Amino acid sequence: MSVTAAKGFTAAGIAAGIKENGNPDLALVVNNGPRRAAAGVFTSNRVKAAPVLWSEQVLKGGEVGAVVLNSGGANACTGPKGFQDTHATAEKAAEVLNGISGFGASGTPGGSDRTDHGDHTDHSAGEIAVASTGLIGLPLPMDKLLPGIEKAAAELSEHGGEKAAIAIKTTDTIHKTAVVGGDGWTVGGMAKGAGMLAPGLATMLVVLTTDADVEAPALDTALRAATRTTFDRVDSDGCMSTNDTVLLLASGASAVTPAYEEFAEAVRTVCADLARQLIGDAEGASKDIRIEVINAATEDDAVEVGRSIARNNLLKCAIHGEDPNWGRVLSAIGTTGAAFEPDELNVAINGVWVCRDGAVGQDRDLVDMRYREVRITADLAAGTDSAVIWANDLTAEYVHENSAYSS
């Protein structure tokens, strides 16, 4: 169902020829209104891809009519030409969508009752968000991409969400979608990526849609709150992308305005679901590691400690080897500035407290690590705050996948 689970959206996913292997590589998501409210969060990497620089500007207006997403190339570190290519992509999408909007105005569900925001069949490039994913530093083949937009527009459908989700895959082995239903309204979404707001190749892309009648500022608040505790706490390999983009589009097509808390919780649930799927499909991973830091003095302390554990290569190797190596957990905690006393630290792995008071605890042989999900609990004994970070193990397959020439 993906991005077309919510009413008021059409989508398509096609093969434009950007990927040399002929796999789907271009997705189009269109908000048919009546509302076009939107919010977005982007990578905090200071080296930002052209589509991120573009879409950040688009989102400042609080309205997005459509999103063009491509795999097969990140359009990052491509200089002024790369930005021109993104601009041309948005212009082309606006032109093509306006060309079919006569049809759309009569043929799409939202076409007849667009009253609150004027004539939304008029698309302008300034309201077209663009997202790209793939190899950094290569120019996009615009001779493939631009005709691809026409092809995608011709295939726009209320049932196109699945195909759109498939078209944005890079090293993903599965496409990722999630849907939460409210009372008369829906939040759905799609994601690609093999890791964090810092994923494997060069990008996590997420598009969420809702037919709830919510204005841009509330969308923004709900989206930032949701990503802070979901995508921001997924750390597959510690490598932050130049292209990470999370968009939330609202069509208002349900004509229902849910209570803010209820809506925000739905957004958070969809984000958490997609984030969990990203970890579950991370490049080369054999384990999903849930790191919960408890009894921290502050939430920031808990996140800092969780991230330090998540990024410790030695521990990630140990987990891969099903070795409950709590010494490496302590070693990682010790590199942080969080409040704790070394001789008060406790660590559990899959529920067995293998470290008590900074030293040997329960018998490590009690720890069963056969399953994909591994739970590490780090008790800082310094307060009452907590946080959960998701990570993956480090495997020979990860090395292999990321050491191939120009992978």
The footprint of its own copies (CB under 8 A) covers 44-48, 74, 76-79, 81-82, 135-139, 200, 202, 237-242, 311-314, 317-318, 320-323, 325-328, 330-336, 340, 342-343, 345, 355, 357-360, 394-396, 398-407
Q: Which is nearer to its own copies, 138 or 225 (CB)?
A: 138
DSSP state for residue 114 in the 8-state scheme: -
Comparing CA positions, the residue from 67, 169, 153 lying closest to residue 103 is: 153
| Alpha carbons 42 and 29: distance in angstroms, whole number | 18
Q: Is 203 a catalytic residue?
A: yes
Place of tokens 């990722």: 176
Torsion of CA 282, 403, 144, 47, to 10 degrees: 80
CB of 196 to its own copies, least distance (A): 11
CB of 403 to its own copies, least distance (A): 3
CB 390 within 8 Å of CB 282 = no
Q: Which is nearer to its own copies, 109 or 383 (CB)?
A: 383
Q: Which is nearer to its own copies, 149 or 305 (CB)?
A: 305
Q: Which is nearer to its own copies, 177 or 236 (CB)?
A: 236
CB of 357 to its own copies, least distance (A): 7
| Alpha carbons 349 and 172: distance in angstroms, whole number | 28
Q: Which is nearer to its own copies, 214 or 310 (CB)?
A: 310
CB of 356 to its own copies, least distance (A): 9
CB 389 within 8 Å of CB 312 = no
Instruction: Name every residue whose Cβ is closer than 8 Å to that of residue 123 and which is 6 or more positions away in sequence.
Output: 65, 66, 93, 94, 97, 98, 101
> Can the peptide bond before residue 80 be classed as cis, meaning omega within 30 degrees of 0?
no
CB of 389 to its own copies, least distance (A): 16
Q: Which residues pair with 352 in a beta bridge?
A: 349
Residue type, 400: H
CB of 119 to its own copies, least distance (A): 38
CB 397 within 8 Å of CB 194 = no
CB of 351 to its own copies, least distance (A): 18
| Alpha carbons 345 and 302: distance in angstroms, whole number | 13
| Alpha carbons 248 and 264: distance in angstroms, whole number | 12
DSSP strand E in 133-185: where? 176-181
CB of 82 to its own copies, least distance (A): 7
Comparing CA positions, the residue from 224, 181, 163 lying closest to residue 14 is: 163
Measure Cα distances from 265 to 70, 101, 133, 155, 219 in Å. Answer: 29, 34, 28, 33, 12
Long-range CB pairs of 396-405 (<8 Å, 24+ gap) are 396/284, 397/283, 397/284, 397/285, 397/286, 398/237, 398/283, 398/284, 398/285, 399/284, 400/284, 401/171, 401/200, 401/283, 401/284, 402/200, 402/283, 402/284
Q: Which is nearer to its own copies, 267 or 374 (CB)?
A: 374
Q: Which is nearer to its own copies, 116 or 397 (CB)?
A: 397
Q: Which is nearer to its own copies, 89 or 346 (CB)?
A: 346
Kindly name the residue from 86, 108, 133, 203 that is annotated as catalytic: 203
Residues with active-site annotation: 203
